[in-house]
Structure 1
């Protein structure tokens, strides 16, 4: 059977938006084919606001979530495979769900991102975001 993860993410996304809340996803930035601004990755993870009013060109395809968003004033195109999503939740109250991120058996060599490179590209900290997962 195919993964139920894309269906669950779509359902939670719709439910959060229908309740006029802001959907956020926590993404494993080192998962194959993830395209996110590396400068905003912290400890291998990036949290993204995917509210329809916050992003452009939003599309949930069969295997990936694609959209454009601004980071530090610069427009970036992001690609997030559903399998890289570790959680989806509402920013306002933390209600959502988490998922296990299962890496494929064979990883391409370009997946490994050097931690030193990540440290060099980090933007200045503005306060530590919090994530609470409610099951």
Structure 2
């Protein structure tokens, strides 16, 4: 199925923001921890650069890890604590590459074609397929029995 409109089809807005919000709600409603994979090299991304690895960053966006989460059709914004310091995060929608549950990696990956960028060859696969495990982050406030990771984590901003 092509994401490009033919001359007879009406122009449609990108579906990524709608799918992102739906998967976020689904993950949270099931008591799991939503994480997003972000292309930190994308224009206007505002994240703590010291936690970017290979041009990407994975962020815990659970209600207990972020403050003032806002997802609109253009971007995701929130504030969070990184090593105790508050930081305002700005994620333009095209920079978001995936959303998944930390506990079971179920979620969706997104491809660049709807934002006018080249689509990778594997984009032909379903966007809702099971994702590969990506190193996640653990919030300091969680009661998760897994050992703490050395990667960055988010905490509740009070």
TM > 0.5 fold call: yes
Q: Is the 8 A contact 2:80 2:88 kept in 1?
A: yes
Q: What is the aligned-residue RMSD (CA, Å)?
A: 1.7
TM-score of the aligned structures, taking structure 1 as reference length: 0.75
Q: Is the 8 A contact 1:28 1:101 kept in 2?
A: no
What's the offset of the Cα at 1:101?
3.5
Unaligned runs of 5+ in 2: 1-11, 118-148, 152-158
TM-score of the aligned structures, taking structure 2 as reference length: 0.64
Q: Deviations over 1:52-89 (max 9, x none)?
A: 11101111122110000111111100000111111100
Aligned to 1:90: 101
Rg larger for: 2
Separation in structure 2 between the aligned mates of residue 32 and residue 101 of structure 1, nearest angstrom: 14
Aligned to 1:45: 56
Aligned to 1:60: 71
Separation in structure 2 between the aligned mates of residue 58 and residue 10 of structure 1, nearest angstrom: 11
How many residue pairs get matched? 108
Bigger share in helix: 1
Unaligned runs of 5+ in 1: 106-124, 128-135
Q: Is the 8 A contact 1:85 1:101 kept in 2?
A: no
